Amino acid sequence: MSRSGAHRSASPYGSSSRGAGFFVRLTALVVALLVVLAGVFVGVQLSRGTPEASATVVAHGVLTAPGSRPSLPTPTHGATYVQVEGLGTIASHNAGEELPLASITKLVTALVVLHHHPLSPGQQGPEITVTSAVGAAYPGEAAVHDSVIPVRTGERLSEYQCLEALLVPSADNIADLLATWTAGSTSAFVAEMNAEAASLGLHHTHFVDPSGLDAASQGTARDLVRLGKVVLSQPLLAHLVALPQVDLPLAGVVYNFNYVLGRDGIIGIKTGSTLYAGGDFLWAARRKVGGHTVTVVGAVLDQQGKVPIQAALHAAERLSVAAFDSLHQVTLLPSGRTLVRVTTPWGASTRAITTRAVSAFGYPGEQVSASVHMDGTAAGGRLRTPLAAGTRLATLEVQLPSGTVSVPATTVTEVAGPSISWKLERL
C-alpha cells in the first residue's frame, strides 16, 4: 500500500513540469511573433513614401506705393479729369458729366478734315475758296463778337491756313467753311464728327455743329482727355495746338486764347468759352521730372468767374504743377517680402521671400497689378523634401508702365525631411 501511495503522489509533479514547458514555449512563440510584427511595422513605416510639403502663395495681386495719394487742387465746380501718361488718373471730379464743349469741338472738326485731306507737317494742302455764305456772314458775326477772323468772299486759303485759323484764334467761320468744303453740308459733316467720336471711344460726346457754338455740342472731361491723347499722337495737330500765334492773309497776326502756352510745361491743346459753357480747357503739359519725361493730359469744363476762360487756364496750371510735384521714385515692393509659405505635416516650415526691391517712377498711393507664379519646383503647390535654403519657388511679375518686372522668391531656411520617430509615430 505504501509503495502504490508513493507512486500516486509523484504523478502531479511530472504533469506540472510538462505544463510549464508548454507555457515557456508558447511565450517564446508569442514574443517571437511580436518581434516579427514589430519589425514588419518598422519596415513598413520607414519605407512609406514621405508626404510632400505644401506651398501657399500669401502675396496680394495689387502693390501699393507707400504714402497717401496726392491731393491735387481740383476745382469744386464743373468737371475735371487729369491723367499722367503711363501712370493713369491722378485727379477726377464729375469726370463723366456731359457738359458743353464750346470751341474744344474744333479738334474733332480738324480730325474729320484731315481724314478726308491728310496733311503732313510742312505741307499747305489744297486751296479752299471762301464761299459767299461764309463771306457774307462775317460782318454780322464780328459785330456780336463771335470768335471769327476776317474773310472775304472768293478769298483763297490753303488747308493748312484754315487749320491754323481753326485751332489758334479758334475761328467759328472757318469751322463752317471747312465743314462744307469737306462734306458738302454742315449736317453731313456733323454726322461724320459723331462717327469720328464713336470710333475714338468718346462714348459720351455728341456734336450738333462744327464750331461748338451750339450748347448741345457736349462731352465729358474723361472723353476729352482721350481726345487730347489722339491729338498729341498726330504730328501736325500737335504742332498746331502748340502755336501761340499765326499770321493769316486778311486777319494778320492773330493769337491763341491759350495764353499759358509754355508756362509750367504746357504745350497745348485747346480752349473754349461761351456764356453757357463757362471756361473749358483741354491741355497737355510736359516736363522732365527726376530724369523722366512726363506728360500730363487734363481737361477742365464749366469753370466760372469774372473771366471764365482765365479760370480754366489757371486751374490747369495749378493741376499740372501739383501733378509734376507729386511724382518721384517710389518703392512698390521692398526686398524680403514674403510671397510663399511652406509647411509640412511634421512641423517643419519656411518661407520664400523676394530677393530684391521693386521701385518705379510714380506717386505715393499708386497701385500696380502684380501676380505670383509658382516655379517648376513648387508646381501645383506641392514640394518634395528635403528642401535647401535659397531654393527658388516662385516669381513675382509686376506690371509697370515701362514694362513687366520679374522678381524671384527663394526660401529663407532649409526644410529637412521627417525624423525617424515621426515616421514611426504617424498612422
Question: CA nearest 360: which of 290, 272, 264?
Answer: 290
**Same domain as 289, residue 309:** yes
* Last residue in a domain, options 277, 307, 325: 325
**Same domain as 370, residue 292:** no
**Same domain as 255, residue 233:** yes
Predicted local confidence at residue 346, as pLDDT: 81
Q: Helix or strand or coil: residue 352?
A: strand
Question: CA nearest 376: which of 408, 343, 400?
Answer: 408
Q: Does some domain include residue 30?
A: no
CA distance 5 to 250: 162
pLDDT single digits (tens) 147-205:
999 999 999 999 999 999 999 999 999 999 999 999 999 999 999 999 999 999 999 99
Rg of the chain on CA atoms, in Å: 41
Predicted local confidence at residue 47, as pLDDT: 52
Name residues whose C-beta falls within 8 Å of residue 41's C-beta, 6 or more positions apart in sequence.
none
**Same domain as 407, residue 357:** yes
Q: How far is CA 206 from the centre of its chain?
A: 27
Mean pLDDT of the chain: 89
Domain count, the chain: 2
CA distance 113 to 111: 5
Q: Does some domain include residue 358?
A: yes
Predicted local confidence at residue 28, as pLDDT: 76
**Same domain as 354, residue 236:** no
**Residue 313 — φ and ψ, nearest 5°?**
-65, -45
**Residue 269's beta-bridge partner residues?**
283
**Residue 162 — φ and ψ, nearest 5°?**
-65, -40
Residues 272 and 257 sit within 8 Å (Cβ to Cβ): no
**Lowest-confidence region among 4-8, 89-93, 113-117, 305-309:** 4-8
**Residue 58 — φ and ψ, nearest 5°?**
-120, 0
Burial label for 244, CB within 10 Å (0-12, 13-18, 19+), is exposed
CA distance 280 to 102: 7
pLDDT single digits (tens) 16-63:
666 777 787 777 777 777 776 656 555 554 455 567 888 888 877 888
**Same domain as 310, residue 377:** no
**Same domain as 257, residue 375:** no
**Lowest-confidence region among 61-75, 109-123, 218-232:** 61-75
Residues 99 and 302 sit within 8 Å (Cβ to Cβ): yes
CA distance 417 to 427: 17
Q: Does some domain include residue 262?
A: yes
CA distance 425 to 427: 6
Residues, the chain, total? 427
**Same domain as 397, residue 258:** no
Report which residue type is found at 331.
T
pLDDT single digits (tens) 150-161:
999 999 999 999
Q: Compute CA distances 385 → 64, 107, 184, 195, 358, whole Å.
A: 35, 66, 79, 63, 30
pLDDT single digits (tens) 377-421:
777 778 888 889 999 988 999 888 778 989 999 999 998 888 666
**Same domain as 298, residue 376:** no
Residues 251 and 283 sit within 8 Å (Cβ to Cβ): no
Q: Does some domain include residue 73?
A: no
Helix axes 172-183, 186-199, angle to 10 degrees: 90
336: left (phi over 0), alpha (psi -120 to 50) or beta: left
The DSSP code for 206 is B
Q: Does some domain include residue 156?
A: yes
**Cα torsion through 49, 50, 53, 54, rounded to 10:** 40
Q: What is the DSSP string of 290-341?
A: TTEEEEEEEEEEEE-SSSHHHHHHHHHHHHHHHHHHT-EEEEEE-TT-EEEE
Q: Does some domain include residue 240?
A: yes
**Same domain as 170, residue 215:** yes
CA distance 56 to 207: 55
* Last residue in a domain, options 279, 308, 325: 325
**Same domain as 342, residue 317:** no
CA distance 98 to 96: 6
The parent domain of residue 363 ranges over 53-66+331-425
Q: Does some domain include residue 23?
A: no
Q: Does some domain include residue 8?
A: no
**Lowest-confidence region among 90-94, 116-120, 137-141, 347-351:** 347-351
**Same domain as 231, residue 352:** no
Q: Check whether 11 has a pLDDT greater than 60.
A: no
pLDDT single digits (tens) 232-252:
999 999 999 999 999 999 999
* Last residue in a domain, options 325, 350, 375: 325
Q: The CATH number of the domain where 148 resides is what?
A: 3.40.710.10
